[in-house]
Structure 1
Amino acid sequence: MEPKFISISDGIIERIKKGELLPGDKVPSENELISTYKISNTTARKCLLEIESKGWARRIKGKGTFVLNRTVEHQLLRTLGSIDSTRKGFDESLRAEGFTPKTVIIEKIILDDGISSNIMGKHYIIEGPVLKIHQLRYADDILMKDETRYISLKLCPKIDRLPSDISFFKVYEDQYKIKITDIKQTLSVDILDPQQEINNFEIDNQIPVFILDGVVLCQSEKVIEIERSYYRGDKYKFAIIANPEYNSSSFFDLDKK
Structure 2
Amino acid sequence: MHTDAGLKKMLPANIEIRDYLAGLIKQSRLKQNERLPSERELVEQFKSTRITVRDALSKLESEGLIYRSNRRGWFVSPPRLEYDPSSRVNFYLLAEQQQRTPATELISQKRIKGPQAARTALAVAADEKLIELVRLRSLDGRPVLYEFIYLPESRFPELMKKDLEGSLTTLMQRDYNVEITHEDNRICVSAVYDQVADALSHINGAPCLEIRRIRYEGERKAVEFDIEHWVHSAIELRIPSH
Range class of TM-score, shorter chain = 0.5 to 0.7
Structure 2 distance, partners of 1:175, 1:164, is 12
1:131 alignment partner AA: I
The CA deviation string for residues 56-86 of structure 1, in whole angstroms up to 9 with x for no partner, is: xxxxxxxxxxxxxxxx722101111113x2x
Where does structure 2 lack aligned partners over 5 or more consecutive residues? 1-76
Contact 1:81 1:242 in 2 (8 A): no
Structure 2 vs 1, CA of residues 214 and 94 (structure 1 numbering), >3 Å: closer, same or farther? same
Structure 2 vs 1, CA of residues 98 and 215 (structure 1 numbering), >3 Å: closer, same or farther? same
The CA deviation string for residues 142-172 of structure 1, in whole angstroms up to 9 with x for no partner, is: 1110011111221122222221222212222
Structure 2 distance, partners of 1:100, 1:210, is 21
Contact 1:80 1:238 in 2 (8 A): yes
Partner of 1:217: 216
Contact 1:126 1:224 in 2 (8 A): no
Contact 2:104 2:166 in 1 (8 A): no
Residue range with higher mean Cα deviation, 178-187 or 74-83: 178-187
1:125 aligns with 2:123: yes
Contact 1:207 1:233 in 2 (8 A): no
Structure 1 distance, partners of 2:153, 2:178, is 13
1:125 alignment partner AA: A
1:234 alignment partner AA: S
The residue matched to 2:176 in structure 1 has which SS?
coil
Partner of 1:188: 188
Partner of 2:234: 235
Report the TM-score, using the length of structure 2 for normalisation. Answer: 0.58
The CA deviation string for residues 200-234 of structure 1, in whole angstroms up to 9 with x for no partner, is: 31135864311010111224622211000101101
The residue matched to 1:73 in structure 2 has which SS?
coil
Partner of 1:150: 150
Identity of aligned residues (%): 15
How far did residue 185 of structure 1 move? 0.8
Contact 1:116 1:124 in 2 (8 A): no
The CA deviation string for residues 67-126 of structure 1, in whole angstroms up to 9 with x for no partner, is: xxxxx722101111113x2xxx22332233222222222211122x3554279xx85434
Contact 2:121 2:214 in 1 (8 A): no
Count residues with an aligned counterpart.
163
Partner of 1:91: 92
Structure 1 distance, partners of 2:121, 2:214, is 10
How far did residue 241 of structure 1 move? 4.5
The residue matched to 2:78 in structure 1 has which SS?
helix
Structure 2 vs 1, CA of residues 133 and 228 (structure 1 numbering), >3 Å: closer, same or farther? same
Structure 2 vs 1, CA of residues 130 and 205 (structure 1 numbering), >3 Å: closer, same or farther? closer
1:239 alignment partner AA: R
2:79 alignment partner AA: H
Structure 2 distance, partners of 1:132, 1:205, is 23
Partner of 1:53: none
2:99 alignment partner AA: G
Structure 1 distance, partners of 2:124, 2:115, is 5
Where does structure 1 lack aligned partners over 5 or more consecutive residues? 1-71, 244-257
1:210 alignment partner AA: L
Contact 1:91 1:165 in 2 (8 A): no
Report the TM-score, using the length of structure 1 for normalisation. Answer: 0.55
